[in-house]
Every structure is written in C-alpha cells, then in structure tokens.
C-alpha cells in the first residue's frame, strides 16, 4: 500500500494527514477482527518508513496488540524507533506497559533503570514501575514506590488510577494499600478505584464501604448509586439496595438508565418478593419523569410483555406520536417473546418516514425472526439503508443487510458485486459466508450480470468448505488430547464421589429418547436425575414410560411456563451434593458429569459452566466451536459466563441463590452473575463431552435468534455430523448418539470414526458419505 505514503508526501499535512490516518485506522480495526493484530499492525505501519511512523498510528498498532492480549507481538515494534530517540521517549510508558504485560520482567527492569536517568522524570513510566512491582508480587516495594510517586509528582492522583486499575486484582497489594494508605487519602477518585477493585474482586461488603465514603464526600453520580445498590444487594442488604437504586433512578436520565444500568435493574429488582411491588410503586408514584422506553425496560425485567405491547400500540396510534427506536426494539422483543411476529411486521412498515434509524437499529430489526420474509418489511429497511450515509468500506454486516433486502435488479447487482469483491480478498467473514451458504444460490439466481452471479454462486457453494478448514479439526483434536490428559489426571487424583443430581426440564416428546440416553450413559457412580415434564408433556404418562428402566430417575410434572420454576422444583426435590443441568435436546457424552465434577473438585470451585461450546446447526449441517474461550480458569478473571445448559453447582450455592422464576429468558445468566457477585468461586470448563443442538425451526428454542447470531464468536467449523464422536474424551461414546429425531440421520451414519482415547484402541475406519447442503427433513 505505498499509495498512502505517496499521498502523504503530496498533501499538506494539516489538511490531509488526519483523513488518511483515519482511513488506515478504520481498515486496521477491520483487519484486527478478521485476521488478527499482526495484520492490523502491517496496515498501520507498512506504508511509512520504519523509523518514522506517525505517532498516532504507532500507538494504535501497539494498543491493538495489547488489546488482543498479545503483548509479546508489540515488543518488536519498538525496535523500529531505535534511530528516533525523541519518538521512542514519547512512547516510553507504552513500551514498559508492553514489557510488563508480556511478562518480560528483566526487560522491564532494565528499561525502568534507563528511564529513571531521564530529566525531567516521566510520571507515566514511574506508574508502570509500581505495576511491575505488583506483577512481581512485591507489595511492600509497590507501596514504597507509590509513596515516592506521590511525593515526586504531587497530590493529583489522576495519573495514579491506571496503576490501581492494573493492580486491583492483586488482593494482597489492594489490602495493603487500604490498610496503610487508603484512609489517609480522601481523594474521591482513589476511593472510587478502591470501590471498583473490591467489587471486581468479589468483595461486595468492602466495595459498599468505599462507595458510601465516596457518596458521603459529595460525589453523587448515578453510576456510583448503581454500584452501591448492586454491592448492597450482594451483601444481603436488600433494603439499602432498593434505597440506593431509588436515589440513582431519581438522579439519572432515563435514556442512560436504559442503556447502562439495566444490569442493576436485573440484579436487584428481579426477586419475587419485591420486584412487582417496587416496580408498581415507581411507575405509579408520579415522582419520576420516566420516558416510554424506561417504562418498557422496567416491564421487560418483570416479564410483562403484554404491557409493553399494549402501551406501544396505544401510544403509536395517538396524535403527535414521537417514534423512539429503542422503545420500538423493546416492543419487538416483547412480540417475539410472545410469538407475535405478524405484529412486528405490521408495525415496522408504520414507522414514520422522519423517524431516526441508524445501521445498528436496522441490523437488529433484520435479525428478528421472520422480519426479512415479507416484501413490505424488506422494502422498508432497504429504503432506510439507502437513506443512510454509507461507510467507505464494506463490512460483513452491511453486505448481509444489503443482500438480504435488495429488491431491485440494480440493488442486487450492486451488493452482489461488492460482496464478491470483498470475499475475493480472502477475508474469513464467518457470518457472511454462512449467510451465503443459506441464501447465496437464490440471490445469485436473481443477479442480472452472469459473471457476478457466477462468482456469488462459487462463494456460496464453497462457503462451508472454506469454513470447514482441516486445521480446525486438527486444532480440536489437539485440544481434546490435552483435555483428556487433564481429565485423566483429575480422575486419578481421586477424591470422594458424592451424589450428583441431574436437573432436566423437558417439554417435547421427541426429546425424551435423547434425554434418556444422555442420563443412562453417564459414568458417575452415584447419580440421580430429576426430570420435570412441562408444557405439552405435563401430566403425560409417556414421560414415565420413556424413563422406565432407569432406577435413579424421578419424574415430576409442572404446570408453570418458565425455566426458573422448573429448575427450582427439580433442585428442591434433588438429593445430590452437586447439581448438573441438562437440556433435553442437547447431547451429553458418557463422561460429561464425571469430568465436570472432577474439574470442580480439583479447582475447589462452587460452580462451573462452559463458555466455549460445540453446537450442531441443522441449518448448515455442520458442527461448530462457538464462543471460544480459555478454559480451566476462573470465570471472574475471564469476564464471561458459561451457557445455561452446562451449569454445575454445589447444593450450598442453590440454597443461597435460587433461579429467578418470573422471567422468560436469562435465568442462567443471572444465576452465574449472582454467584460471582456474592463471592462463590465460578470455574470455566472445557467444551468437550457436550453438544448443543440448534434446529432450523428457531421457535423450538428458548432463544429464537438465528444460528448466524452465534458466529461472530465462532472460530472453528468441524465439518458434518460424522465428526460428532470427536467431541468425547476418555472413552468412545456409548451408541447410539441420537440425531435421528432432529436431522434425520441414522445411528449407523454416526458410528465412531477416527477417534483415539487413552482407554480405548482406535476403532476401525468407517467410510462416510460427504455431507453437503442442508439436511433432509
């Protein structure tokens, strides 16, 4: 890309440099998400001489590596500045940050020793000296440096906060800072750092102490009230939580509450004894200037879908109605939860022409079930898309939006050409390729230009082959081998074998054979299952008949309609010291319970779940590894939670934190959240021995979003269902693994193939037909 450097020489810098740099930053951000930080740094730095990169772009290149947790990749970049001492000195704080985060302690110490000879001293470099002492687990040295830093650079602690942000997870240092220094320093910014440090460290009572000190000092910001409310609730003081939240609600703008404080609403108001009463008091008091969208948020947290729908319909029909995009999204969500898809389509085309809708809103609307299926709604969104100022460069989302909705030959030709050109460059673009695998052939048939149509057909036909990269299967095989070693060691380490209870709600008769098989094949020696029949199966003797022969199964029948009710009912009836959730339509392999419980025991965890999960998509007839995340690690440090179908927890956790019963979705997320914030240790399990099944019929699932919504986090496609047995560790799965009732594949097609385990010799190879296209009905 020498053109950018040439353009810089030919243009006055103050006029043209910034737009060129902005274009490079935009392209680098796209490369970072599609190809990784190394590609992004090449985009930012290669157009310029090595020793004289623009300072803004060099910082962006280093920060890209740090944000991707590849600090070691940033270190060679600083060697470019060897002949540019002025620029390298300006980059000093960034360089030592990279050294510390790359765990190059010797290099960081040497760099710090040189930097301390500079005149005048650089405050930001000294801050990272404190962080270096923390990283070396030397809290006393860190405190000495902290005192020296404040003596040297004054009482302004704004520069100190990044250090506290870096070290707040180091509990010994945080405790020492608070004990020896915290009470003598009354600057609210430092107290806020302590409050967040305690909160993120799972110590809500201490977080509440510090945030109350900040509020008493006169810093009355809405986010602090929300933190105080959450910390009070996690500390067991519900009255104080509601009081803090009420004050925060009075002081915060409604639009801010909807966006940034919905978590506080969910965590504090979602308990059966206070939610509806408190919510009614808020809405009826007349003391708050609530907007329509805020009322929708409050009702959404309480599961009052009909109230949201009725109010929107009433307001939209009134004279002088002012359209609000976020309120409309709430309305659509309520309609989808109640399966009123026709109402979404009808109201969509009634949106006033002057209403403001940005690309984000259009993409969210498009992803709602059935919206793209009618000409009127398609025409509405494509017309709005034309009216927007389009970005300079295509993205997978904008191309999907255009291809989905284009209804004229000219539009189809334009978007097809742009899509083909985009994919010709070799971008992985998982979501776009999956879209083409599903819809590309029909789109190509309507493109008037034969050459463009053929290119689109080729990309559509090869989409799954591109995504089914053999390296993905090799990667998963190596990961499975490592996890087998870990599982084997945990089992060999021994330990007690307490009773484990499987909690299994079921509402479809077609899922009963699979659920029975999953329970029967488990290898844990002391196991029971509590099956809760609900929906159409409530009161049906077919459930008991399906579970006959399994001596350790209790069958209960429940007339409720929410998952939280079923799980609480099952857990109340369970006798196990550990509880494990089963989804009736997922596949749980032989050693699922064994590996989960042994992992929890070896890590001394109170709760566990899988953030990285395998799932089979009936739409694409492929198995994917989605939401790939580091496992065998503390969920608090990772920052994400497991899926609901993989939750495992000790009885003591359930006795303190029950599932929320009056919401239609999200009870799993809130259970994880409440466990972490009340101090339980939550662990992230590996993805093996479990497979999520996603049907083409989205209404068959609690979450109605299409499979493509899973793919921004999907890193690997494993190919067709013939690889289903590669997901097991320690032993070959007990046949049959049933997919017949979901995708029409016979058990014979799914015999173990190409699987090696420590406990079994490799089975004979079975020739398998190549899986192409969509599965049969």
- Residue 578's pLDDT is 97
- DSSP states of 535-549 as a string? GGGTT-THHHHHTTT
Residue 527 has φ and ψ, to the nearest 5°, of -135, 140
Model confidence at 315, pLDDT cuts 50, 70, 90, reads: confident
Report the b/e string of 321-346 with b at 16+ CB within 10 A.
eeebbbbbbbbbbbbbbeebbebbbe
Strands 633-634 and 553-557, by their bridges, are: unpaired
Gap between the Cα atoms of 450 and 446, Å rounded:
10
- Residue 759's pLDDT is 35
Say if residues 627 and 614 touch (Cβ distance below 8 Å): no
- Residue 598's pLDDT is 95
Structure tokens given for 437: 């695998």
> What is the mean pLDDT of the segment spanning 130-148?
74
What are the tens digits of pLDDT across the range 339-363?
677 788 788 778 877 777 776 677 6
What are the tens digits of pLDDT across the range 452-507?
889 888 888 888 777 777 777 888 888 899 999 999 999 888 789 999 999 999 99
- Residue 766's pLDDT is 28
- Residue 691's pLDDT is 93
- Residue 582's pLDDT is 97
Q: Any idea what DSSP says for residue 757?
A: B
Gap between the Cα atoms of 711 and 342, Å rounded:
27
Say if residues 547 and 553 touch (Cβ distance below 8 Å): yes
- Residue 747's pLDDT is 43
What are the tens digits of pLDDT across the range 751-761?
333 333 333 33
> What is the mean pLDDT of the segment spanning 626-638?
71
Q: Any idea what DSSP says for residue 760?
A: B
- DSSP states of 306-342 as a string? HHHHHHHHHHHTSTT----HHHHHHHHHHHHHTT-HH
> What is the mean pLDDT of the segment spanning 609-626?
86
Gap between the Cα atoms of 485 and 493, Å rounded:
12
Percentage of the chain beyond pLDDT 70 is 71
Nearest to 467 by CA among 430, 412, 420, 507: 430
Percentage of the chain beyond pLDDT 90 is 17
Cα distance between the two ends of the chain: 50
- Residue 688's pLDDT is 95
Model confidence at 509, pLDDT cuts 50, 70, 90, reads: very high
Gap between the Cα atoms of 547 and 555, Å rounded:
8
What are the tens digits of pLDDT across the range 86-95?
888 888 888 8
- Residue 542's pLDDT is 93
- Strand partners for 694: 617
Say if residues 240 and 263 touch (Cβ distance below 8 Å): no
- Strand partners for 757: 760
Residue with more model confidence, 124 or 586: 586
Model confidence at 163, pLDDT cuts 50, 70, 90, reads: low
- Strand partners for 615: 624, 692
Gap between the Cα atoms of 227 and 265, Å rounded:
11
Gap between the Cα atoms of 524 and 312, Å rounded:
52
Q: CATH for 472-612+634-691, among 2.60.120.560, 3.90.550.10, 3.40.50.2000, 3.40.50.300?
A: 3.90.550.10
Residue linked to tokens 């300072």: 55
Is the confidence at residue 217, as pLDDT, over 60? yes
Gap between the Cα atoms of 608 and 682, Å rounded:
5
- Residue 703's pLDDT is 45
Tell me the chain's radius of gyration from C-alpha atoms: 28
Gap between the Cα atoms of 612 and 682, Å rounded:
15
- Residue 756's pLDDT is 33
Is the confidence at residue 518, as pLDDT, over 90? yes
What are the tens digits of pLDDT across the range 246-288?
667 655 544 444 444 555 555 555 444 444 555 555 555 544 4
Residue with more model confidence, 448 or 686: 686
- Residue 386's pLDDT is 63
Is the confidence at residue 8, as pLDDT, over 90? no
Q: Would you state the torsion angle of the CA atoms of residues 385, 388, 389, 392, taken in this order, to the nearest 10 degrees?
A: -20
- Residue 757's pLDDT is 33
Among 20-34, 240-254, 266-280, 686-700, the minimum mean pLDDT is found in: 266-280
Residue with more model confidence, 169 or 405: 405
Q: Would you state the torsion angle of the CA atoms of residues 573, 577, 578, 579, taken in this order, to the nearest 10 degrees?
A: 0
Is the confidence at residue 520, as pLDDT, over 80? yes
Model confidence at 135, pLDDT cuts 50, 70, 90, reads: confident
Among 13-27, 425-439, 660-674, the minimum mean pLDDT is found in: 13-27
- Residue 338's pLDDT is 73
Q: Which helix (H) or strand (E) holds 471?
A: helix 470-492
Domain boundaries, the chain: 301-389, 399-467, 472-612+634-691
- Residue 485's pLDDT is 92
Among 288-297, 371-380, 504-513, the minimum mean pLDDT is found in: 288-297
- Residue 269's pLDDT is 53
Across all residues in the chain, what is the average pLDDT?
75
What are the tens digits of pLDDT across the range 541-575?
999 999 998 888 999 999 988 899 999 999 999 99
- Residue 46's pLDDT is 85
């Amino acid at each position: 890309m020498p053109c950018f450097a040439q353009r810089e020489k030919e243009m006055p810098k103050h006029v043209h440099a910034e737009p060129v740099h902005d274009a490079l930053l935009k392209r680098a951000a796209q490369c970072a998400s599609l190809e990784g930080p190394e590609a992004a740094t090449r985009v930012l730095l290669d157009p310029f001489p090595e020793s004289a990169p623009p300072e803004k772009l060099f910082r962006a290149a280093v920060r890209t590596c740090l944000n991707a947790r590849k600090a070691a990749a940033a270190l060679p970049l600083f060697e470019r500045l060897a002949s540019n001492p002025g620029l390298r000195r300006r980059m000093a704080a960034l360089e030592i940050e990279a050294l510390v985060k790359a765990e190059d302690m010797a290099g960081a110490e040497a760099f710090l020793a040189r930097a301390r000879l500079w005149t005048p001293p650089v405050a930001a470099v000294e801050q990272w000296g404190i962080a270096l002492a923390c990283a070396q687990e030397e809290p006393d040295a860190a405190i000495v440096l902290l005192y020296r830093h404040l003596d040297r650079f004054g009482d302004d602690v704004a520069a100190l906060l990044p250090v506290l942000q870096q070290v707040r997870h180091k509990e010994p240092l945080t405790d020492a800072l608070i004990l020896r220094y915290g009470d003598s320093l009354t600057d609210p910014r430092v107290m806020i750092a302590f409050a967040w440090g305690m909160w993120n460290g799972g110590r809500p009572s201490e977080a509440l102490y510090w945030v109350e000190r900040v509020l008493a000092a006169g810093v009355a910001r809405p986010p602090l009230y929300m933190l105080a409310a959450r910390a009070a609730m996690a500390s067991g003081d519900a009255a104080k939580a509601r009081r803090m939240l009420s004050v925060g609600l009075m002081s915060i703008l409604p639009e801010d509450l909807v966006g940034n404080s919905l978590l506080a609403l969910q965590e504090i108001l979602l308990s059966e004894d206070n939610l509806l009463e408190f919510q009614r008091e808020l809405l009826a008091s007349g003391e708050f200037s609530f907007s329509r969208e805020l009322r929708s948020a409050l009702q959404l947290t309480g599961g009052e879908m009909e109230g949201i729908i009725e109010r929107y319909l009433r307001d939209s029909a009134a004279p002088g109605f002012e359209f609000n995009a976020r309120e409309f999204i709430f309305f659509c969500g309520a309609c989808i939860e109640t399966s009123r898809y026709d109402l979404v389509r009808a109201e969509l085309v009634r949106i006033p022409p002057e209403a403001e809708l940005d690309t984000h809103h259009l993409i969210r609307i498009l992803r709602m079930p059935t919206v793209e299926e009618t000409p009127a709604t398609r025409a509405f969104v494509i017309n709005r898309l034309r009216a927007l100022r389009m970005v300079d460069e295509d993205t997978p989302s904008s191309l999907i939006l255009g291809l989905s909705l284009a209804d004229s030959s000219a539009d189809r030709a334009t978007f097809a050409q742009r899509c083909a050109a985009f994919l010709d460059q070799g971008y992985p673009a998982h979501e776009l390729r999956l879209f083409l695998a599903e819809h590309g052939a029909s789109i190509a048939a309507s493109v008037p230009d034969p050459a463009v149509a053929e290119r689109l057909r080729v990309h559509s036909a090869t989409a799954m082959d591109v995504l089914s990269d053999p390296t993905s299967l090799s990667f998963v095989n190596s990961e499975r081998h490592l996890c087998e070693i870990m599982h084997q060691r945990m089992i060999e380490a021994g330990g007690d074998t307490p009773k484990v209870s499987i909690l299994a709600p079921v509402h479809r008769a077609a899922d009963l054979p699979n659920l029975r098989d999953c329970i029967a094949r488990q290898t844990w020696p002391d196991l029971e299952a509590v099956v809760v029949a609900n929906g159409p199966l409530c009161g049906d003797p077919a459930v008991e008949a399906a579970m006959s022969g399994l001596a350790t199964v209790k069958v209960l029948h429940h007339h409720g309609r929410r998952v939280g009710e079923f799980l609480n009912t099952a857990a109340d009836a369970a006798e196990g010291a550990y509880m494990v959730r089963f989804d009736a339509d997922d596949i749980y392999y032989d050693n699922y319970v064994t590996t989960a419980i042994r992992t929890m025991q070896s890590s001394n965890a109170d709760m566990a779940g899988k953030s990285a999960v395998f799932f089979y998509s009936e739409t694409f007839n492929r198995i994917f590894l989605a939401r790939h995340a580091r496992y065998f690690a503390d969920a608090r440090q990772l920052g994400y939670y497991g899926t609901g179908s993989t939750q495992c927890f000790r009885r003591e956790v359930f006795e303190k934190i029950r599932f929320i019963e009056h919401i239609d979705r999200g009870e799993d997320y809130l259970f994880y959240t409440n466990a972490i914030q009340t101090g339980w240790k939550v662990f992230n399990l590996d993805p093996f021995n479990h497979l999520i099944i996603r049907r083409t019929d989205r209404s068959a699932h609690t979450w109605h979003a299409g499979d493509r919504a899973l793919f921004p986090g999907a890193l690997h496609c494993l190919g067709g269902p013939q690889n289903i047995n590669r997901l097991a560790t320690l032993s070959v799965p007990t046949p049959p693994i049933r997919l017949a009732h979901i995708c029409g594949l016979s058990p014979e097609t799914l015999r173990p193939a190409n699987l090696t385990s420590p406990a079994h010799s490799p089975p004979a190879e079975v020739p398998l037909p190549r899986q192409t296209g969509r599965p049969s009905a």
